[in-house]
Chain A
């Protein structure tokens, strides 16, 4: 699907209209492409379980460690089942007359997908599973925003509905042949679809649920940063599947995507570390790993079209920008986004999406814009960002309010004090004697 979009740029620049999607042209199976995509799919799943799960688990208090691990794990299972039943078709199906907006309910339960079905040069089963791992990690990212206070039943309901009416449509708009892709918005691996989408939904959820009991007065330090370092490291490695896999082929673009992913993560890790060192006098572990994740987020939309210099710039900008957002901006606005889903994912995603419109230019070492000039491309990028922010904020807000009225979003005060591990799951993460 990403190739299809890339194909569109070429077509637009050549002044052609209504070109055929490239997947219709190439249906010969490539063993190399397929082998890489099988691997990339496993890498992206690895980002959620255990990567993101551990990254988050270390940052909560010990009484809630199991709750975030459970939430990520349950989301993995729930999204998989929903994706098979209707999610994949909503995002990547043919919506007929409404195809600009959604993929419809044409092939429920993956009807018609067999061992010979192809998407480009890879089996459709591999493409479907690869996309499934994106549909898993995006809702799982939101968990960090309302960690330590959301009711588990409400979480499952929210995630199921959110996949259906937020993730799947936006995914279709950008990658599934919908209207945003048609406008030449560059989003190679999911800066808007995944990160801005999840980050903004997270902020809305943090605001609707309200602050944790004792936020701002009681100490809420991360209970085990060792877990977070392991989680961030797994995210970093898994991200090669996310970005280089988004090429859907084992080719030069995938190779460059891998290189720029590494460069941006490193630049952002250093940028956050040095910024914090300068401001607070010490370089912190939580800082350097947060920086790396910020860089990975920011390079995501750019990874198919920028060069190494662009990656350095995008990484440095994301490291400093997200450091500012997760510390100063958060404090100034006073919201309790427990694990900084907005400050890192939304802000990093926006920085990345906008700079993609700059550093993709051939004159700046990129492989080309979808529009003729940088300002025109920036307008397209801004539109993609704006539409995503607006749509996800409004719809997420409505879903949350509806669930709150229906079954309540938050655990009661005693349960929150006791911790979600015991109150929601009757278990403890640490039984040390």
Chain B
């Protein structure tokens, strides 16, 4: 099993959700996050007082999937989330040791 963690631009969420649905992903957890990468922040100015905003708002998606789906899922997210401009985000794939469905107590790939 794999855990795919994707950082994307907030306005791309619907496109990514649609793409994930098409490759058969059954569930996604979305969190509003802030961070910085190569994309520079911006400055804000209020009555002459300048503030540098370094951390930009992004969305973090966490998707647990069967190991064999990883390549397809990463490709789907990449294609759906890309704008070609700096700041499009990243996709991380890591191994997932165990999954438990709380309602039934099922474990392993059945629980995803």
Q: Identify whether the interface residues of A are mostly helix, strand, loop, or mixed.
A: helix
Interface assignment of A330: CB less than 8 Å from any CB of chain B: yes
Interface assignment of B105: CB less than 8 Å from any CB of chain A: no
Closest CB-CB distance, B46 to chain A, in whole Å? 5
Interface assignment of A280: CB less than 8 Å from any CB of chain B: yes
The listed residue (B44, B45, B47) touching A340 by CB distance below 8 A is: B47
Contact B51 A219 (CB under 8 A): yes
CB-CB < 8 A to A221: which residues of B? 44, 46, 49, 51
Interface centre among A219, A280, A330 (most CB of B within 10 A): A219
Contact A220 B49 (CB under 8 A): yes
Question: Which A residue sits closest to B51, measured CB to CB?
Answer: A219
Query: Beta-carbon contacts of A268-310 to B below 8 Å, as 1s and 0s?
Result: 0000000000001010101100100000000000000000000
Q: How far is the CA of A222 from the CA of B45 in the complex (A)?
A: 10
Interface assignment of B48: CB less than 8 Å from any CB of chain A: yes
Interface assignment of A367: CB less than 8 Å from any CB of chain B: no
Interface centre among B44, B46, B47 (most CB of A within 10 A): B47
Closest CB-CB distance, A73 to chain B, in whole Å? 25
Query: Beta-carbon contacts of B27-67 to A below 8 Å, as 1s and 0s?
Result: 00000000000000000111111010000000000000000
CB-CB < 8 A to A287: which residues of B? 47
CB-CB < 8 A to B48: which residues of A? 326-328, 330-331
The listed residue (A284, A326, A330) touching B45 by CB distance below 8 A is: A284
Q: How far is the CA of A219 from the CA of B50 in the complex (A)?
A: 9
CB-CB < 8 A to A219: which residues of B? 51
Question: What total of chain A residues lie within 8 Å of the partner, measured CB to CB?
Answer: 17
Q: How far is the CA of A284 from the CA of B47 in the complex (A)?
A: 9
Question: Which B residue sits closest to A219, measured CB to CB?
Answer: B51
A205-237 at interface with B (beta carbon < 8 Å): 219-222
Number of A-B residue pairs, CB cutoff 8 Å, is 25
Q: How far is the CA of A340 from the CA of B44 in the complex (A)?
A: 18
Query: Beta-carbon contacts of A316-333 to B below 8 Å, as 1s and 0s?
Result: 000000000011101100
Question: Which A residue sits closest to B47, measured CB to CB?
Answer: A326
Closest CB-CB distance, A181 to chain B, in whole Å? 35
Closest CB-CB distance, B49 to chain A, in whole Å? 7
Q: How far is the CA of A219 from the CA of B46 in the complex (A)?
A: 11
Closest CB-CB distance, B50 to chain A, in whole Å? 9
Q: How far is the CA of A220 from the CA of B48 in the complex (A)?
A: 12
Q: How far is the CA of A326 from the CA of B48 in the complex (A)?
A: 8
CB-CB < 8 A to A330: which residues of B? 47-48
Q: How far is the CA of A327 from the CA of B44 in the complex (A)?
A: 14
Question: Which B residue sits closest to A225, measured CB to CB?
Answer: B46
CB-CB < 8 A to B44: which residues of A? 221
Q: How far is the CA of A361 from the CA of B51 in the complex (A)?
A: 45
Q: How far is the CA of A290 from the CA of B48 in the complex (A)?
A: 12
Q: How far is the CA of A326 from the CA of B49 in the complex (A)?
A: 10
Q: How far is the CA of A219 from the CA of B47 in the complex (A)?
A: 13
Contact A286 B51 (CB under 8 A): no
CB-CB < 8 A to A220: which residues of B? 49
Contact B47 A290 (CB under 8 A): yes
Closest CB-CB distance, B41 to chain A, in whole Å? 12
Closest CB-CB distance, A275 to chain B, in whole Å? 11
Contact B49 A282 (CB under 8 A): no
Question: Which B residue sits closest to A287, measured CB to CB?
Answer: B47
Question: Which B residue sits closest to A330, measured CB to CB?
Answer: B48
CB-CB < 8 A to B49: which residues of A? 220-221
Q: How far is the CA of A280 from the CA of B44 in the complex (A)?
A: 11
Contact A280 B46 (CB under 8 A): no
Contact A327 B47 (CB under 8 A): yes
Q: How far is the CA of A416 from the CA of B21 in the complex (A)?
A: 48
Interface centre among B45, B48, B51 (most CB of A within 10 A): B48
Q: How far is the CA of A280 from the CA of B51 in the complex (A)?
A: 13
Q: How far is the CA of A327 from the CA of B45 in the complex (A)?
A: 10
CB-CB < 8 A to B47: which residues of A? 286-287, 290, 326-327, 330, 340, 343
Given contacts A221-B49, A284-B46, A327-B47, 6 further A-B contacts (CB under 8 A): A220-B49, A221-B44, A282-B45, A287-B47, A326-B47, A330-B47
Q: Can you list 15 residue pairs at the A/B interface with Cβ under 8 Å? A: A219-B51, A220-B49, A221-B46, A221-B49, A221-B51, A282-B45, A284-B46, A326-B47, A326-B48, A327-B48, A328-B48, A330-B48, A331-B48, A340-B47, A343-B47
Give chain B's interface residues, CB within 8 Å of chain A.
Answer: 44-49, 51
Closest 4 CB pairs of A and B: A327-B48, A219-B51, A326-B47, A221-B46
